[in-house]
Amino acid sequence: MASDLGATGPADLADLVAAAREGDRGAFDEIVRRTYVDTYTLAVRLTATEEDARDVVQDAYLRAWKGIRRFRGDAQFSTWMYRITANTAATVSGKRRRQRTVHLDDVADPVETEVALHPELATENSELMVRLSAALDELPPRLRALVVLKDVYGLSHEDIAEELGISVAAAKVRLHRGRKRMRDLLYEEASHADAV
């Protein structure tokens, strides 16, 4: 089935989703173009690496294409896509944790930067971001998803529950566990640094 998007100009996302549900590959390709940045950004935040994020996005869109006919439209397409992306990220992260290796190319070289005002603050902020990122990477994928969706994207408990297909109570409990685990990891790291 050929898409007639060019003849009528840009369609809204709901029209594209309806066309894709009918098997219009061109409409789905346009959906991918319109939602790619948000999907990729979420994948990077959930997996913490660009390589894994690319794998997640590719798998998520493949899953979306295969399942688009079952998309009922009860929620927005973006919510459905977030859910697929979060689930795919959990799967990819689980596989990566079992196969984790570090390549020498991935080891960062020290970066020298010039900071005109208050270089000590820039250093502290940079170190804090590294510590937070490391703690986030240590979280199990399903807890990481909750922390990222709440604390980075600012979604409500209700929206998170809807996006991940869990109850609001489960979202709150998992978020609490994720934040507590991050605090514990940061505290352990600080205690270890003080002991050295």
All structural domains of the chain, each given as residue ranges with its CATH number in brackets, are 1-99 (1.10.1740.10), 128-196 (1.10.10.10)
Given a cut of 70, whether residue 94 has pLDDT beyond it is no
Q: What is the pLDDT of residue 190?
A: 67
Taking residues 59-69, report their average pLDDT: 93
Q: What is the pLDDT of residue 3?
A: 42
pLDDT bracket for residue 173 (50, 70, 90): very high
Q: What is the pLDDT of residue 134?
A: 80
Given a cut of 50, whether residue 7 has pLDDT beyond it is no
pLDDT bracket for residue 150 (50, 70, 90): confident
Given a cut of 90, whether residue 26 has pLDDT beyond it is yes
- CA–CA–CA angle 179, 184, 189 (5° rounding): 125
| Between residues 60 and 46, the one the model is more confident about | 60
Lowest-confidence pick of 19-33, 38-52, 60-74, 87-101? 87-101
Predicted TM-score of the model (pTM): 0.55
Q: Return the structure tokens found at 43.
A: 């994948």
Taking residues 158-166, report their average pLDDT: 83
> What proportion of the chain, given as a percentage, has pLDDT over 70?
73
pLDDT bracket for residue 120 (50, 70, 90): low
Given a cut of 50, whether residue 123 has pLDDT beyond it is yes
3-state SS record for the chain: CCCCHHHHCCCCHHHHHHHHHCCCHHHHHHHHHHHHHHHHHHHHHHHCCHHHHHHHHHHHHHHHHHHHHHCCCCCCHHHHHHHHHHHHHHHHHHHHHHCCCCCHHHCCCCCCCCCCCCHHHHHHHHHHHHHHHHHHHHCCHHHHHHHHHHHHCCCCHHHHHHHHCCCHHHHHHHHHHHHHHHHHHHHHHHHHHHHC
Q: What is the pLDDT of residue 165?
A: 82
Taking residues 4-32, report their average pLDDT: 79
Cα separations (Å) of 193 from 126, 131, 135, 179, 196? 16, 12, 15, 21, 5
